[in-house]
Structure 1
């Protein structure tokens, strides 16, 4: 397996069936946890940016000369998007000195919302998905991750503010 294939498929996770995108999102969670434990939000944020850049390169390499610009085995985009969704709990945990596992409802919300937006492709997610090339492959998931992060923040505000939990 080439370096590009290792990166794009996240070590072969993208070959798991069914639903390789969901597998990619699931494997991103313990990776995000490890990054947060090692360096807090700054390391997770840096890793997300690097992952996105490497994902663009690896996707370009894997799709060069092929008609399918977004094959299902490429799941590095799901990792980048899922990590971005986790920013919504990583930052407050890091900033307030809270153990990130104490924010477990946020983990669930980030995963579910990211998968929902990645599959449903509302508004800007669908727009980015329609773009040809590796940037489009990565950007629809990055935007889905951003929408998921916003959703997590809104749900936390509702839960802690309105419901008082």
Structure 2
């Protein structure tokens, strides 16, 4: 079970760029969860996938110290959902439940910023990546998700003129 979770039910086996495929699958599934069950279900799913990700990565990498195989994408799913929570909660707060269709720049920005921070790995994201343990595999993506979420909110503030007044 840890293998299937860590490769997110086969998504991590897709080529090229399994991390990007993992992020894309996470966006689609995250939007479906939000649309069907609401933002608090997405929050619960994010907490659950994060906990399961730590468990699955720990099991899959216990005999491979320092390894971060490309096919393990559960970390991308957790990080991408963290990034998606920022616009999801912002739109929920504004009373816009069906935001995935009308406010698509929010989730597109969450995807793009997450991929940017996950690949670039600035500052503390790079530190987490250099841990070279199973927790580091998860942590760099979780932190990248937080960075991406803040970047989405900053971009939205600039785009809508809130920060320019």
Superposition TM-score tier, normalisation by shorter sequence? over 0.9
**In structure 2, what is the Cα distance between the partners aligned to 1:67 and 1:86?**
31
Quote the residue 2:134 is aligned against.
134
TM (norm. structure 1) is 0.93
Query: How far did 1:121 drift?
Result: 0.2
Query: How far did 1:105 drift?
Result: 0.7
CA distance 1:68–1:163, shift in 2 (3 Å):
closer
Q: Which runs of 5+ in 1 are unaligned?
A: none
Given that 1:89 and 1:103 are in contact with CA atoms closer than 8 Å, whether structure 2 keeps it comes out as no
CA distance 1:140–1:163, shift in 2 (3 Å):
closer
- Spell out structure 1 runs of 4+ moving beyond 6 A: none
1:27 to 25, 28, 48: 25
TM (norm. structure 2) is 0.93
Query: How far did 1:38 drift?
Result: 2.7
**In structure 1, what is the Cα distance between the partners aligned to 2:163 and 2:141?**
31
Quote the residue 1:92 is aligned against.
90
Q: Secondary structure at the match of 1:147?
A: helix
Query: How far did 1:66 drift?
Result: 2.2
Q: Secondary structure at the match of 1:26?
A: helix
Query: How far did 1:106 drift?
Result: 1.2
Quote the residue 2:117 is aligned against.
117
Query: How far did 1:126 drift?
Result: 0.3
Q: Which runs of 5+ in 2 are unaligned?
A: none
**In structure 2, what is the Cα distance between the partners aligned to 1:62 and 1:145?**
22
User: Would you say how many aligned residue pairs link Structure 1 and Structure 2?
Assistant: 162
